[in-house]
Amino acid sequence: MMDKQKIYPRSQDRETVYLKNVITDPSIIVGDYTMYNDFVKDPVDFQKNNVLYHYPINHDRLIIGKFCSIACGARFLFNSANHSMASLATYPFPIFFEEWGLDVSRITRAWDNKGDIVIGNDVWIGYEAVVFAGVTIGDGAIIGTRAVVTKDVPPYTIVGGVPAKPIRKRFSNEIITALLATRWWDWPEEKIAGHLAAIQSGRIDQIK
């Protein structure tokens, strides 16, 4: 039976990890079997190398569903990367509160807080894609190589480009509705294993 608790899902591969099992930050929540591959850096260091400007003072979260595939160099850019657009200056004065005699409790005024990043289930995020704070990516979506995702992505939609825009839906509306209702990723492992042939061959009629 599958072992979702191990770090390396393939015995001879140290570039691919089950992401949930290398995360120590409680504000990063990852579902079972979601995997990250990195052939440049150690994939175990995902939360340091790929989750950027993610500081506890913001209380923002990265939430990733089950069975996602995250390619090398994909990054999640959080709120502290922003500078306040309401300010007349782009310079983040509040973070240099000591220099300017400002109240440290107002440090978060240096940036706009757009909220959490939420990734659905069975999402494929391509090589060196960037996902911005406040974005929600729906189940089954595909994020193209080096796409910059600044807006929400609907379920089962392929997006690409800078900024990322929809290219097409993966399936018909009927099949998408059925997949979202079926939620195969929440099935027991034995049931998923028993339906792999239907899943991989696109036989929605066999998994409804």
Query: What topology does CATH give the domain 16-83+112-170?
Result: UDP N-Acetylglucosamine Acyltransferase; domain 1 (2.160.10)
- Distances in Å between the Cα of 41 and the Cα atoms of 1, 37, 47 are 30, 9, 12
In the sheet that holds 28-30, the strands lie side by side as 28-30, 62-64, 117-119, 136-137
Q: Domain extents for the chain? A: 16-83+112-170, 171-208
- What global pTM score does this model have? 0.93
Cα 101 from Cα 94, distance rounded (Å): 9
Q: Which two tokens stand for residue 155?
A: 């379920």
For 79-117, b/e burial (b = at least 16 CB within 10 A) is: bbebebeeeeeeebbbbeeeeeebeeeebbbbbebeebb
Q: What is the DSSP letter of 113?
A: -
Q: What is the DSSP letter of 39?
A: S
Residue numbers annotated as active site: 83
Give the number of other Cβ atoms within 10 Å of residue 151's Cβ.
13
Ordered per-residue pLDDT tens for the chain, 208 residues: 678 889 999 999 999 999 999 999 999 999 999 999 999 999 999 999 999 999 999 999 999 999 999 999 999 999 999 999 999 999 999 999 999 999 998 898 889 899 999 999 999 999 999 999 999 999 999 999 999 999 999 999 999 999 999 999 999 999 999 999 999 999 999 999 999 999 999 889 888 7
